[in-house]
Structure 1
Amino acid sequence: MTKTITPGGITRRHMLAWTGGTALALLFSQAILAAEPITLDQFMTLSGKLLDRDGASLVGDYGQSYRDALVADGQDAALAQLISGTADKTLENRIITGWYSGVHQTADGEAVVTYTDALMWEALDFTKPMGWCGGETGYWSQVPEGEA
């Protein structure tokens, strides 16, 4: 025998299910909405871990730009998960690429954060940024100090 609910005749079971479901929905939506974006210090620590270096050795202004670009792209929840230990190779590569190239993605395309301080110049220690003077004319013909 099925019970038909008539207007004004809601059963106690239906009322409990409705209020319980509503309470859970409100609870979880508040937790999601209350999640704060990661701080700059957290991002710098994460960046240091991904780059296998001390996060304090990285320039904070650049980190702020990279973090803000990721948050603006809707990656704040993914960043929080990455900090908590969840692997996300795509996001990890995006962070590493930003630090090495000195560029991050925006809604309008690429934006340069730094050129001469990009980490690629540390990795490419045999060269220098274009337009960056290495010394007096002919400096390149002399053996660098400490490498004689």
Structure 2
Amino acid sequence: MQMRAKDRDVSRRKLLIGCALGALTPCIADRPGLAETSDLADFLRLSAELTGRMRLPVDSARIYLQSLGLDRGALSRMDPLQDKDSERLARRIVADWYSGQTVDSGRVICVDYTGALMWNAMGFARPGGVPGEAASWALAPTKE
């Protein structure tokens, strides 16, 4: 069967669509990447429930999640009220968010010192080295 010249011609639009689809194929076929996204969403949801904070930074969440070294899908099976291992993990997640630090491969890593939830929880303190009212003790008192 012989193709006509018209059928063999590729329009610029068809070529661009083919290139775009070819470039997207690895993204679509990347199932582990989709699982990581799902795990990150589960981690952010669980973190929001545990800390009571809704807008937690995604970059920090990624680091905290990675430091936990969990199997894929483990967070969706967690039940801190029924399971001691889940309770221990929940305490670790809260500690990470409030301290701004985590432990990875036996080392303490500072993830977000100034964004740690403990500063807002205390209300009266600010991270050291950050200007604000926390350093006001160094100033002479004013007479009112």
Q: Is TM more than 0.5 here?
A: yes
Aligned CA RMSD, in angstroms, stands at 2.8
Q: Secondary structure at the match of 1:39?
A: helix
Aligned length: 102
Aligned residue in 2 for 1:132: 130
- Residue 89 (structure 2) aligned to one of 72, 88, 91: 91
Q: Structure 1 stretches (4+) deviating beyond 3 angstroms?
A: 74-78, 83-87, 137-142
Aligned residue in 1 for 2:57: 59
Aligned residue in 1 for 2:100: 102
Greater Cα offset, 81-90 or 91-100: 81-90
Aligned residue in 2 for 1:114: 112
1:81 aligns with 2:77: yes
2:136 and 2:101 mapped to 1: Cα distance? 31
**Structure 1 or 2: larger helix share?**
2
2:73 and 2:45 mapped to 1: Cα distance? 17
Aligned residue in 1 for 2:42: 42
Q: Secondary structure at the match of 1:53?
A: coil
Question: Is 1:65–1:113's contact at 8 Å kept on the other side of the alignment?
Answer: yes
Compared CA separation, residues 52 and 83, structure 1 to 2 (3 A): same
Aligned letter for 1:51?
T
Identity of counterpart residues, as a percentage? 30
2:99 and 2:110 mapped to 1: Cα distance? 9
Unaligned runs of 5+ in 1: 1-35, 143-148
Q: Which has the larger radius of gyration?
A: 1
Q: Secondary structure at the match of 2:103?
A: strand
- State TM-score, norm by structure 2: 0.59
Compared CA separation, residues 119 and 130, structure 1 to 2 (3 A): same
Structure 1 residue 90: Cα displacement: 0.4
Structure 1 residue 39: Cα displacement: 2.0
Q: Secondary structure at the match of 1:120?
A: helix
Q: Secondary structure at the match of 2:75?
A: helix
Compared CA separation, residues 61 and 83, structure 1 to 2 (3 A): farther
